[in-house]
Amino acid sequence: SDCESCPAGDSGASVAGGGPSVTPDQSGPGATLRYRAGGAGHQGYPGAAEWTTALGRYWSHDYAERIALDPDPGDETHVWLITKFGSFREFQDLGVGSLYETNSPSDEYRTLEWLGAGLGWELHDLDGTVQSFDATGRWTQTVDRNGNVTEGHYNVSNQLEWVDFPDQS
């Protein structure tokens, strides 16, 4: 009775998406490449143009998260987090202190903060981890509760070229 858990053909993927996950050779620790049928990059979904250009429709990886403006109203008052799993989290009702007051799904426990025009966003986790996103919505870095920084580096075409991990010197 629940189509989200029904298998789609012989692939084993659910109708709701969440397709297979693969880790390519030489991809480094924690860099999992994922495919989610009907997820990020789907035409008409928030951030589809940027997502499809960067990764291809429905593909994602651990460092591909981004913030996308909702087309209506088209500003920072209503945004979507596109997750590393190719799914979405909605944040709206920008309140006092630049924190979003409403989020969906209701079990989203992280707090999203808009830093101001041209500055981007910070996503605060309950464990003290903070993810930073630039003014275009791209993930730029994650700082864990111990101050360890994982940082993305982009080329002139705005493509992620490499990620620095805390244990690298």
pLDDT score at 59: 82
23: tokens are 């880790």
d(CA 93, CA 79): 10
pLDDT score at 145: 96
Give the list of residues 6+ apart from residue 150 with CB closer than 8 angstroms, or none: 141, 142, 143, 144, 163, 164, 165, 166
d(CA 35, CA 57): 9
pLDDT score at 144: 96
Query: Could you tell me how far CA 66 lies from the centroid of its own chain?
Result: 4
pLDDT score at 107: 86
User: What's this model's pTM, rounded to 2 decimal places?
Assistant: 0.80
Rounded to a whole number of angstroms, the CA Rg of the chain reads: 16
pLDDT score at 152: 94
Q: Sort strands 160-164 and 149-154 into parallel, antiparallel or unpaired.
A: antiparallel
Apex 164 CA angle, 160 and 146, nearest 5: 125
What are the pLDDT digits (tens) for 8-63?
A: 333 333 323 345 555 556 555 567 777 787 788 888 888 888 887 777 788 888 88
11: left (phi over 0), alpha (psi -120 to 50) or beta: alpha
Check residues 90 and 27 and name the one with the higher pLDDT. 90
Average per-residue pLDDT for the chain: 81
Residue 92 — very low, low, confident or very high, per pLDDT cuts 50/70/90? very high
Residue 6 — very low, low, confident or very high, per pLDDT cuts 50/70/90? very low
**Strand order, beta sheet including 33-35:** 21-22, 33-35, 59-61
What are the pLDDT digits (tens) for 104-141?
A: 988 889 999 999 999 999 999 999 999 999 999 999 99
